[in-house]
Amino acid sequence: MITIDHSQFKGRDFISLHDFTQNELKCFLDVAAELKKEQKAGRPHPILQGKTLGMIFTKSSTRTRVSFEVGIYQLGGQGLFLSGRDIQLGRGETIADTARVLSRMVDGIMIRTFSHQEVLDLAQYATIPIINGLTDMLHPCQVLADLMTIQEHKGRLAGLKLAYIGDGNNMAHSLMFGGAKMGLQVVIASPQGYKPDPALVALAQEDAKANGGSVDILDDPLEAVKGADVLYTDVWASMGQEAEAGERMKAFQGYQINAESLKLAHPSAIVLHCLPAHRGEEITEEVIEGAHSVVFDEAENRLHAQKAIMALVM
């Protein structure tokens, strides 16, 4: 059976990529690649035999739910799906009480929710690892899978240019952190009023300076994609922003990955999207189904990247 040295990670939370060094993120990626190899070869790897992951969802999901539940099963453990409707957290029990109770019954908690503060509070009171499955501020699990996908297709991370076109949301924030830590040149193009959080941009730029990368925020999407090795986008209106959809549709006109974007990018550029995609809005059907798209490799890698997180921290 595969053996993993988890000594530097055991018991740690996985909340933001900003919390880890470049070498630590490389370790997550190496373990993810090894676990993917084992799974593809049909070799069992019950590293977390007998362990249980509590999975709190106050925000619905396809990829997060399936990848964590299948992942903990493939690692020899079991996952408990806990929706906001099913547990007392949804009826007024405090995060602190939930954290302390679950810490005595399960071995790790993954939470996917709206408020980032909820994840921080859970981590403060829990005595077991907390994994951030998504908040309105950050999506670190997705970006670990993104980095894995880029490395698989490009053979490296450092020095590549990644252009993200669209809302300066949780995806933009985590791409800045992950790209900065791994030495990428990250360019974010968003319209006025939808830029990434300036405080997080400043943190990411510090990370980039220390790791040989860069983080730049632009207005012009066509300028951003020039020579890019990786093109990335996300929906214009995320879950919880449905009331703003019409206003956002107007604001994001021109912020689309399409054939024109690809012509300006590097000839061997790859295209990523965290899904779900609204085809014809932030990305065209032609591009997401085209030869440059690695979107479904990226979606699969959510499974392998998250197995690495669980294997190391749990």
Q: Which residues carry a binding-site annotation for carbamoyl phosphate?
A: 61-64, 88, 112, 139-142, 274-275, 302
Catalytic residue among 112, 116, 273, 292: 112
Going by C-beta distance under 8 Å and a sequence separation of 6 or more, which residues neighbour residue 259? 284, 286, 287
Residues in CB range of 207: below 8 A, 6 or more apart: 18, 177, 180, 181, 213
Q: Which of 142, 185, 256, 306 is catalytic?
A: 142
27 part of the active site: no
Q: End-to-end CA distance of the chain, in Å?
A: 17
Answer left, alpha or beta for residue 290, where phi above 0 means left and psi between -120 and 50 means alpha: beta
Residue set of the binding site: 61-64, 88, 112, 139-142, 170, 234, 238-239, 274-275, 302
Phi and psi, residue 133, nearest 5°: -80, -10
Please count the other Cβ atoms lying within 10 Å of the Cβ belonging to residue 76: 15
Which member of 18, 173, 292, 302 is catalytic? 302
Is 256 one of the annotated active-site residues of the chain? no
3-state secondary structure of 100: helix
- Which residue ranges are tagged as binding site for L-ornithine? 170, 234, 238-239
Residue 234 annotated in active site: yes
Catalytic residue among 116, 139, 173, 304: 139
Catalytic residue among 22, 65, 167, 274: 274
Residue 124 annotated as catalytic: no
**Which residue among the candidates 234, 248, 304, 306 is catalytic per the annotation?**
234
Catalytic residues: 112, 139, 142, 234, 274, 302
